[in-house]
Structure 1
Amino acid sequence: MTEKQKMLAGEMYNPSDPELMKERHAVRLLFQEFNRLDENHFEERKAVLYKIFKNGGENLYVEPPFYCDYGSNIIIGKNLFINFNCCILDVAKVTIGNNCMIGPYVQIYTATHPLEFKARNGGKEYAKPIIIGDNVWIGGNATICPGITLGNNVIVGSGAVITKSFPNDVVIAGNPAKIIKTINNN
C-alpha cells in the first residue's frame, strides 16, 4: 500500500511521504489564495473554494481565513456556512451534511497519533473519519476529535470539546461535551 492508501484506510502512515506533502502544499496554495481575496472578489473566491472542496455541495459559503490538510477528503452537503478561522484536518474523510452552520474558530480533527511515545516520536500518525449529520449547528471554538459522529439536528455549544459520538436531536456542550438537552423536532 502507498502511504496515501494507508492514510485513507485509517492505518499508520508517514505524513512526510512526498506524494502527501505535494498534495498538502497544493491545497495550501489554494487556501492562501482564498484567504487573500476580499468580498469584492466573491465569484473568484467561490471558484477557489470549489477547487479546495472537490466534493462541495451547492450554496457553500466560507468566511476566510480557512485551513485544511487536503480538502479532497471533505464531503459537503448543500447549504453549508463556515465562519472565520475554521481548521479541518482532513487526513481521513470528513462528511458534513446538508444545512449546517459552523461557527468561528471551530476545529475538526481526524488526525491522531500513537499513544506510545516511541511510535509517536517516529513520526507516524493515523486518522479516524468524522461524520456530521444534517441541520447541525456547531458553536464557535468547538473542537471535534477524531472518529466522532454527530447525528442530525445536533447543536454544539460554544467551546465544546467533542470526544465521543452523539445521536440525533440533542444539544451538547462542555469539556468533554455531554448532552444538556434533547430537542423535540417532531
Structure 2
Amino acid sequence: MVAGDWYRYRVSPELVAMTAATQACCREINETYASDPERALLLMRDLLGSMGDAVQFRPPFYADYGSRLHIGDRSFLNADFLALGGGEITIGKDVLIGPSARLYTPNHPMDPDQRREGYERVLPVRIEDNVWLGGSVVVCPGVTIGESAVVGAGSVVTRDVPAGAFVAGNPARVIRPVAGEPGVR
C-alpha cells in the first residue's frame, strides 16, 4: 500500500485493524471536542503523521489512517472532514477546508474480476500552502492543488490544479486566476 502498488485491503487483517484503531481514535477526538477542544487537538496530534502549530478543526473529523495525514501550520478543517484511504495526504500551511470536504486516495481497478477480488491502490493527495477548498469539495486520488488556489464549493477535483487558479465544477476546471481580486486588501 505504502509503495503505491495494488494490494487487497479486504483480505488484510493488519490493514483492517489499523483502520479500526484510527476510527476509534477519531470517535474519541469527536466526542472529546465538545467538553475539551484542547485535549481533542492533542489526541489529533498523536494520531496524525504530523500536525503544525495553531491547527484548528470542527468535528466530526474522520481519517482511515492517521499516520498518513499531515497538516501544516494554521490550517483549518471545517465540520465533517473525511480523509479516506491509505495514501499520503499532505495539507500545507494556512489551508482553509470547508465543511464536508472529501479527500480520497484509494483507487480500484476497472476490470470487474480484479475489483471483485478486492484489489485497490492508493495515490497521494497534496494540497499546497494557502489553498481554500469550499464546502463539499471532493479531491480524487493523485491530485495536487497548487499554492494559493481556490476550489469552488461542490467541485470534484479529478486532476492537478495550477497555483493561483480558481477552479469549480464537476469535473473541476480552471475558471480564472485568483490574484488581484477587486476590493480585497
Length-normalised TM-score, structure 2: 0.93
Do 1:74 and 1:90's aligned partners in 2 also have CA atoms closer than 8 Å?
no
The 5 A counterparts of 1:159-178 are 159-178=154-173
Show the counterpart of 2:13. Answer: 18
**Which of 97, 100, 124 is the equivalent residue of 1:102?**
97
What amino acid sits opposite 1:113 in the alignment? H
Length-normalised TM-score, structure 1: 0.92
Q: Is the partner of 1:8 in helix, strand or coil?
A: coil
Can you list the C-alpha shifts for 1:13-62, whole angstroms capped at 9, x where unaligned?
Answer: 12131211121111111100111124331221111111221311111111
Q: Could you tell me how far apart the structure 1 residues matched to 2:49 and 2:113 are?
A: 36
What amino acid sits opposite 1:138 in the alignment? L
Identity %: 35
Q: Could you tell me how far apart the structure 2 residues matched to 1:69 and 1:183 are?
A: 32
Do 1:71 and 1:90's aligned partners in 2 also have CA atoms closer than 8 Å?
no
- Quote the RMSD (CA, aligned, Å): 1.1
**Which of 40, 46, 51 is the equivalent residue of 1:51?**
46
Do 2:93 and 2:128's aligned partners in 1 also have CA atoms closer than 8 Å?
yes
Q: CA deviation at 1:91?
A: 1.1
What amino acid sits opposite 2:45 in the alignment? Y
Do 1:10 and 1:127's aligned partners in 2 also have CA atoms closer than 8 Å?
yes
Show the counterpart of 1:141. Answer: 136
Q: Could you tell me how far apart the structure 1 residues matched to 2:23 and 2:158 are?
A: 28
Q: Could you tell me how far apart the structure 2 residues matched to 1:42 and 1:31 are?
A: 13
After TM superposition, the structure 1 stretch with the greater mean CA deviation from structure 2, 32-41 or 169-178, is 32-41
**Which of 76, 80, 87 is the equivalent residue of 2:75?**
80
Q: Could you tell me how far apart the structure 1 residues matched to 2:178 and 2:131 are?
A: 12
What amino acid sits opposite 1:27 in the alignment? T
Q: Is the partner of 1:37 in helix, strand or coil?
A: helix
Do 1:30 and 1:51's aligned partners in 2 also have CA atoms closer than 8 Å?
no
Q: Could you tell me how far apart the structure 2 residues matched to 1:134 and 1:175 are?
A: 23
Show the counterpart of 1:3. Answer: none
Gapped regions of structure 1 (runs ≥ 5): 1-6
After TM superposition, the structure 1 stretch with the greater mean CA deviation from structure 2, 160-169 or 13-22, is 13-22
What amino acid sits opposite 1:42 in the alignment? P
What amino acid sits opposite 2:92 in the alignment? G
Do 1:79 and 1:99's aligned partners in 2 also have CA atoms closer than 8 Å?
yes
Do 2:78 and 2:97's aligned partners in 1 also have CA atoms closer than 8 Å?
yes
Query: How many residues of Structure 1 are paired with residues of Structure 2 in the alignment?
Result: 179
Do 1:137 and 1:156's aligned partners in 2 also have CA atoms closer than 8 Å?
yes
Q: Could you tell me how far apart the structure 2 residues matched to 1:129 and 1:62 are?
A: 22
Q: CA deviation at 1:184?
A: 2.5
